[in-house]
Structure 1
Amino acid sequence: MHGPPVVAWLLVALSAATALSCVLRREARAEALLGTGMALMAVPLSVYEPPRWSTAVLAAVFAGAAVHALRPSAHRATAHRMHHSVCAGAMVYMAAATAGASQAHSGHAGHAAGAAMGTPLLTGLLLAYFAGYVLRAGTRLVAVAGLAAPPGGAIRLRHAPEVAAACRVAMAMGMFAMLLTM
């Protein structure tokens, strides 16, 4: 991550917490993978400079996740699968852009901190997508939060659909912040 260290650490915390929440919900393994990757990619370069090959590995993992998300599924809607595919594709894009910037600056990623990475048009399109997603899904989440708890019991947070929606909104906000630093 090439932004201020405070923002990077906040993204690491947000992404790691989201990944942990998703791991606890067995049906959200793809989201846990994305959250873990986001946490790894957000670690400031001043703390840890990953080996050159790590961006290629991340890109390959997320390319596989993008293809896997497109497979038809009985328990996931098409829009949900497309969103996962866009998220995984954005991760591939960021990993490739980071690798390209590192190689363009004598293989030392620390020198790439001031350089623009990626294609401005694609970065802008992804920023618009994630901003729109956060606004749309966030508004729905706020509307759902206004509903009362079920009679006679607490909400089981681990399997509540609101938790899954909140995780997706948090990851989309993190993705937006990461794209802003490119």
Structure 2
Amino acid sequence: MHGPALSGWLLMVLCGATGAYCLLRARDSTARERGSARAEALMGFGMAAMAMPAALFTLPERTWAVYAAVFGAASLHAVVCARRGGHHLHHLVGSLAMVYMAVAMAPGGGHPGHGAGAAGSGGIPVITGALLIYYALYVLGSAGQLIPAPAPAGGGLTAPAWGARPELALACRLTMGIAMFAMLLTL
């Protein structure tokens, strides 16, 4: 990822923690929610790996092709699952954005001479701009849903397991949306 090392470290930790929580959430969820949690875990870990600062570990050149292949397969899976509705269209956009960033960040990808460790911009500005707009709208729309609903009177209901709390799942999606926006800004 282009940009300051500190932002890379912060994005790596944030996305890795989000991916780990999504894996834990997959244990306490229904079958339908489990698939979404796994897709979000893949996205979180993939974003963490992509945001890894070069000072920590220099990735081999073929890594970008692996990212593109993994997230290309995730895109195909999201297309198949999108017929069932739910959050899969967002997963499709996210997976395609990861493929786009992997190609743009690859050595020789995007613009000549702008590989993973080079300063400057990569990618196609129109596509990057469209993805930035999508993620900005997604983050703004998701942030409004985090306002908690009033607690029911009586207090007889038990809280769901911490891994199955819908507000935490939404917070993870919001976190990854913000992280994707930040990563796209660095292209």
The alignment's TM-score, normalised by the length of structure 2, stands at 0.85
Distance in 1 separating the partners of 2:72 and 2:150: 38
- Give the counterpart of 1:120 among 116, 125, 132: 125
- 1:147 is aligned to 2:150: yes
| Corresponding residue for residue 46 of structure 1 | 55
| Corresponding residue for residue 36 of structure 1 | 45
Q: Partner of 2:123: helix, strand, or coil?
A: coil
Q: Partner of 2:81: helix, strand, or coil?
A: coil
Q: Within 5 Å, which residues of 2 pair with 1:1-182? A: 1-26=1-26, 27=34, 28-72=37-81, 77-78=85-86, 80-101=87-108, 104-105=112-113, 109-110=116-117, 112=118, 114-142=119-147, 145-148=148-151, 151-182=156-187
Aligned residues of 1:49 and 1:109 also touching (Cα < 8 A) = no
Aligned residues of 1:101 and 1:115 also touching (Cα < 8 A) = no
Q: Partner of 2:145: helix, strand, or coil?
A: helix
The one-character-per-residue Cα deviations of 1:69-103 (angstroms, maximum 9, x if unpaired) are 111368x634x111000000000000000014469
Q: How far does residue 47 in structure 1 lie from its aligned partner after superposition?
A: 2.4
Distance in 2 separating the partners of 1:173 and 1:151: 36
Distance in 1 separating the partners of 2:132 and 2:81: 26
Amino acid at match of 2:52: V
Distance in 2 separating the partners of 1:72 and 1:41: 25
Q: How far does residue 163 in structure 1 lie from its aligned partner after superposition?
A: 1.7
Structure 1 unaligned segments of length 5 or more: list them: none
Distance in 2 separating the partners of 1:25 and 1:140: 19
Distance in 2 separating the partners of 1:151 and 1:15: 36
Structure 2 unaligned segments of length 5 or more: list them: 27-33
Distance in 2 separating the partners of 1:69 and 1:109: 27
Distance in 2 separating the partners of 1:104 and 1:160: 46
The alignment covers a number of residue pairs equal to 175
Provide the alpha-carbon RMSD of the alignment.
2.1
Which of the pair is proportionally richer in helix?
A: 1
Aligned-residue identity in percent: 46
Aligned residues of 2:107 and 2:116 also touching (Cα < 8 A) = no
